[in-house]
Structure 1
């Protein structure tokens, strides 16, 4: 019996392909290079903003495309240019921010676009911000289309905050999360890792059944349920493990690369 190999690999980065120290191991790098030589694209599909995804772009291979910000941006790595942008329009974003803050007092916001990030004065960011980041109320930050609206709450648990936000916004925007803190990642209507990956694979003439995908957090769920073959990492969020059906070793044990080496006989 002949087994058809996947034609495309889609992988999350943090907690999945990238180790806990922020590196990609030599072993993983070698596996990705071999797949590239075999003309199997490995597409990075991440919630990271562009400025953080750039750290690993040397590993994307000759196809040169990466899906950023949970599907809001397809970036042409070779050209260093936008390939596709799926942004939140300012009116919708601002209206949604107001609705959520009314429903969940204490919510603070940051707004991501291709150029960088703007934060409300009381938004407690856990990572260093790039030079020139704006600090202003969300009404001023949403002066142009945004890739992501970030909502943070310092008292509610992540699942509690997510549930409250879903109820407040009623599906008008896509809400997900990938952090251990109560940070929601909000995208334009219909924008997920899966929907943008589907647009990209359609261009290549590749169907969902020909894709193998890897992830570890709730923002990976649409991609993992869309792909023909999907793996949750060994320490993934329980909802991800339940959805994926297969489990890869931990990211710190090069789980993605080890699975791919087995699948492709490397």
Structure 2
């Protein structure tokens, strides 16, 4: 394997430890790569508000793909360079189709301003202070900065795969569905928007080819990115579908698996 020119890594369950943070050892490896002018791009399902927690470790190159590809964020300039949101009408039609087919479905919407949810949405983490609870028709908009980057669809009775299959059947692939949660929570992006397609745009702008990228992930929302990259690693504790799709397996996320692999690949 030739030495990669760019590192693309998921965060939760991949680069970050069990507490969702970057260890001292991993931080030192990322800084060493930054000093060698090797961009490390965080490619995460996290919304901007959660991704900011680890932006200090992305280095001077400072680029992150957040919300499963819905936005490229320039960390050093603290602004988006690319936004790939969901038009309000398309989002509402999708939600209505899924709810009609699968009663009991409730929704939330992530935008650049934060998270808003329907009244019956059961959130597993504390809601931001700015969060609103209202029907989706009142939460969806095409206003810049408030357009949906990612829809959240939750069901309290179905399993994740069953819910995903029903959602695909009900909505006909009009939007992009993926899954990275341990609960039954679907993450929905605009048509054609994935971690892989947005990472491809970023790499094209940098003049980096797919075979010059090394990528790491652990959940189904990483599958397309791992298949796109020239070299791919699943974490040892990854979802079985990810282990099957990746070229290699890295040590677990709570054992600095990404950093261990990078230290060897770049001879740090």
Shorter-chain TM-score: which interval? Answer: over 0.9
How much has 1:82 moved relative to structure 2? 1.2
Alignment RMSD = 0.7
From 230, 234, 240, the counterpart of 2:236: 234
Q: How many residues align?
A: 264
Query: Residue in 2 aligned with 1:123?
Result: 121
Residues 1:92 and 2:90 are matched in the alignment? yes
The separation in 2 between residues aligned to 1:162 and 1:82, in whole angstroms, is: 30
Structure 2 CA distance, aligned partners of 1:25 and 1:87? 32
Distance (Å, rounded) in 1 between the aligned partners of 2:250 and 2:22: 16
How do 1:246-261 and structure 2 match up within 5 A?
Answer: 246-261=248-263
Alignment of 1:206-217 (within 5 A): 206-217=208-219
**Structure 1 match to 2:16:** 18
Q: Deviations along 1:34-55, whole A, 9 cap, x unmatched? A: 0000110000000000000000
Give a deviation string over 1:125-174, Cα, whole Å, max 9, x none: 00111112110011111123210010000000000001111111111100
Please give the secondary structure, in 2, of the residue aligned with 1:206: coil
Give the distance between the partners of 1:132 and 1:78, measured in 2 at CA. Answer: 25
The DSSP-based 3-state class of the residue aligned with 1:15 is helix
- TM-score, normalisation: structure 1: 0.98
Partner of 1:83: 81
Please give the alpha-carbon distance, in whole angstroms, between the structure 1 residues aligned to 2:99 and 2:183.
18
Corresponding residue number in structure 2 for 1:31? 29
SS at match of 1:213: strand
Which of 34, 42, 49 matches 2:47? Answer: 49
Q: Which stretches of structure 1, 4 residues or longer, exceed 2 Å deviation after superposition?
A: none
Q: Which moved more, 1:17-26 or 1:184-193?
A: 17-26
- String of CA shifts for 1:160-189, please: whole Å, max 9, x gaps: 001111111111100000001000000001
Structure 2: gaps spanning 5 or more residues = none
Mapped partners of 1:118, 1:193: distance in 2: 22
Alignment-derived partner of residue 108 in structure 2:
110
CA distance in 2, matches of 1:84, 1:245: 29
1:102-181 to 2 correspondences below 5 Å: 102-144=100-142, 145-181=147-183
TM-score calculated relative to the size of structure 2: 0.97
Gaps of 5+ in 1: none
Distance 1:141 1:15 in 2: 30
